Amino acid sequence: MTPNPTAAWIVQQLREAFPFDNVPRYLLFDRARSFSAEVVSTLRSMSVEPVRTGFRCPWQNGVAERFVATVRRELLDHLIVLNDRHLQLLLAEFVAYYQVDRTHLAIAKDTPAGRLVEPRPRPTASVVGLPRVGGLHRRYAWRRAA
């Protein structure tokens, strides 16, 4: 974290956030000066399409702000973060949960990564909660009765 991010700092953060081929398709950012041509060229070299919010359109920041609010409400309000490494681990677990396990009403109760509906395997099967994010959240699945 830094109170005054520079373009060089942002480029380094992007390299650390996406060190391998696991990069997002798009990255949404506002029109701050720190998101310079250097940042845009770094994103494109990583095969990420940079998307800027519209000029004087603060309502477009709502997507990012909504996710930040979700992280705060569903993760950070319930934990004590010990240090930067701990925060990074928690955020990585939460993002995985958010993309793979957490259903979203805006996409017809599916997950962003897509998840098949599990049919009940047997009439005697029961539902079990699989812990996610250190047990803070759960994914529910069928468990076959023995």
The predicted structure's pLDDT at residue 139: 92
pLDDT of 105 above 70: yes
Q: Write out pLDDT tens, residues 3-38.
A: 888 999 999 999 888 877 778 888 888 888 889 999
For β-strands 49-52 and 126-132, DSSP reports them as: unpaired
Residue 132 counted as domain residue:
no
Domain range for 37 is 1-52
Per-residue pLDDT of 108-134, as tens digits, reads 888 889 888 888 988 889 999 999 998
29 within a domain of the structure (yes/no): yes
Q: Is residue 46 part of a domain?
A: yes
Domain count for the chain: 1
In this structure, what are the phi and psi dihedrals at residue 91, rounded to the nearest 5 degrees? -65, -40
**Is residue 59, in this structure, part of any structural domain at all?**
no
Domain membership flag for residue 48 = yes
pLDDT for 79 equals 92
What average pLDDT does the chain have?
88
Residue 28 within any structural domain of the chain: yes
- How far apart are the C-alpha atoms of 25 and 40, rounded to whole Å? 14
Question: What local confidence, expressed as pLDDT, does residue 146 receive?
Answer: 61
pLDDT tens per residue across span 54-90? 887 777 777 777 888 999 999 999 999 999 899 999 9
Structural domain contains residue 6: yes
Residue 71 tokens read as 């992280």
Here the tokens at position 131 are 């812990």
**pTM of the full structure:** 0.60
Mean pLDDT confidence for 96-103? 92
For residue 117, being part of any structural domain is answered with no
Find, among 56, 127, 137, 43, the residue nearest to 90 by Cα: 137
Residue 106: both structure tokens together: 């805006």
Which residue, 58, 88, 84, is CA-closest to 71?
88
